[in-house]
Structure 1
């Protein structure tokens, strides 16, 4: 039995493709938003299944699988880090306590009067202007495809852990973090990394 997972771009519903032509099912399943055009199927427009279900463990469970071996391609840590501009240095820093983000005069004594808030706003504007100038001075930066790829990685990482909960064995290919979406020339390296990771999991399998 075979099934591919796609996403209905209009409703966000998960679409399981287990009938018809394999090539059409796979084409719909890999239609990365912004990279490939959606696939029209009847009245639906289908995109990458990873948008809603990066590792469809639940799908194979419903198909009757006794033992589920899943492969995780998530490259981003599945937790959120909050960054904010440091008022002293002007650099981004990690926020350890989310209470620090509050800018409420009653709840935060740092902002008891309007003058302090205005002063802070002016300082933030200066920092922002300086940051913009620094960005403008740099000619190099991520292109649109790299931005799309990274954005998708971030979104998928948030739900991959939940998807993997029902798997008996999870394989993470070695070197996955060093390979980007369009690194087709590194396919052989990734295949070898997958083989190595699988061999390590053989006893568990």
Structure 2
């Protein structure tokens, strides 16, 4: 288990390592700030979708060990989302928080993106075993908000994509499939099994 978790850490940090290397070698393309913003955002979404895929993998394959990596991958998704926000604040707004509030109000894609960030931040803070114990049954209900974060993240990606919608719609399809598996498992298959 140690080695598998180490591998997950290495794979999750690889995109960041490539960004650092690209920054040091001045190899992030003609618009480095845009590259940083887009890469951190896309990896936040990818890791969130991978996190959401672990339960369906367990349901469909019976591989219960997949769930061990859910918290770790969810925290990495939140980490890349934080880097995405920091990049936006630093390079595009110059740390002007009043401008950030204006952007949140005026641009719907930033509104939903910030909604996803707030949810992921709150879920990260409450992801520890101590918080799980303290919250009891409410912890599971609270962490179902990850689905809302996923929807908001995909909507953010679609709305901010001006010309090419192929990639955003692919992620929307993946999220729909993951949510569809959950719906089928809990509301169709389970009641039939228990009948």
Normalising by structure 2, we get a TM-score of 0.27
Larger relative strand fraction: 1
Higher RCO by CA contacts (8 Å cutoff, separation 6 or greater): 1
Greater gyration radius: 1
Larger relative helix fraction: 2
